Amino acid sequence: MLVLDRVGKTYPNGVHALDGISLTVSPGEILVVIGGSGSGKSTMLRAISGLDTPSQGRVVLDGMTIAAPHEQIGIIFQEPRLLPWLRVADNVGFGLEQCPTAERNARVSRALERVGLTDKSRVWPRELSGGQAQRVAILRALVPRPQVLLLDEPFSALDAFTRADLQDHLLDLWADSKPTLIVVTHDVEEAIVLADRIMVMRPHPGRVHEEITCDLPRPRDRQSAAFDFVKRRVLAALDRSLERAVITDDRETKAAAGGGLWW
């Protein structure tokens, strides 16, 4: 179980990015974090990953305080950040250096097969499309079988078609070993497709504004009334998080939802 105990972050320049977040995430849960700019989403994710140290509070995983990157916590960034000097298979196996070669190769091959990239195993990252590269980045983080996987706006640089494809791939891969997922996104539809729980954050300083449980059956139908209902709830919560007037007119709500991107 992952616990954030009053985690806060103030940067040396005085910016108070995160204000005492307390949160418990159950094993296997998919928590999606959504909020406006400056709401501390990425700061929180980096604190959980151990890449940044919180100024106040602590991150605890199964009773252990996380103060530095931990083998049970993987992270996927907005851009794939593949190592250009390693072929695709070596990128996927990057976190398995301690594994015997045969086991490493087997796990990498299985992973590439799961996302249909077996034929790309020997190519260089520069030869991949954006979607393929991000799939490889997801595999690189998942192959060491972390207990918690953090995703910082992982699909935001991709077109809508590829984004939907990768959301499905992510859920498929998640179903294999059911790690805890914490996904930061700006995309309301993405949040609803993925989440068990959606946490809406408010900015300056970042804190939890509202939590919305999302228990729609999977796979989730984006066209369904239930999906649309949750979407309206999330959009309303986002508006309230910025202390905006809540748009109640149904037509206006749909217009605001637009392509699913919420800024």
* Positions that interact with another protein (CB under 8 A): 49, 51, 68-71, 74-75, 77, 79, 81, 83-87, 94-95, 124-132, 158-162, 164-165, 189, 222-223, 258-260
What is d(CA 28, CA 196) in angstroms, rounded to the nearest whole number? 10
Q: Which is nearer to another protein, 24 or 129 (CB)?
A: 129
Nearer to another protein, 3 or 157 (CB): 157
Q: Which is nearer to another protein, 190 or 196 (CB)?
A: 190
Q: In the complex, what is the shortest distance from the CB of residue 228 to another protein, in angstroms, rounded to a whole number? A: 11
Q: How far is the CB of 202 from another protein (least distance, A)?
A: 27
For another protein, which is the closer residue by CB, 22 or 65? Answer: 65
Query: How far apart are CB 238 and another protein at their closest, in Å?
Result: 19
Pick between residue 3 and residue 158 the one whose CB is nearest to another protein.
158
Shortest Cβ distance from residue 150 to another protein (Å)?
Answer: 9
Q: Which residue's CB is nearer to another protein, number 49 or number 241?
A: 49
DSSP string of the chain, one letter each residue: -EEEEEEEEE-TTS-EEEEEEEEEE-TT-EEEEEE-TTS-HHHHHHHHHTSS--SEEEEEETTEE--S--TTEEEE-SS----TTS-HHHHHTGGGTTS-HHHHHHHHHHHHHHTT-GGGTTS-GGGS-HHHHHHHHHHHHHTT--SEEEEESTTTTS-HHHHHHHHHHHHHHHHHH--EEEEEESBHHHHHHH-SEEEEEETTTBEEEEEEE--PPSSP-TTSHHHHHHHHHHHHHHHHHTTPPPP--HHHHHHHHTTSB--
> Least separation, in Å, of the C-beta of 15 and another protein?
19
CB 20 to another protein: min, Å: 25
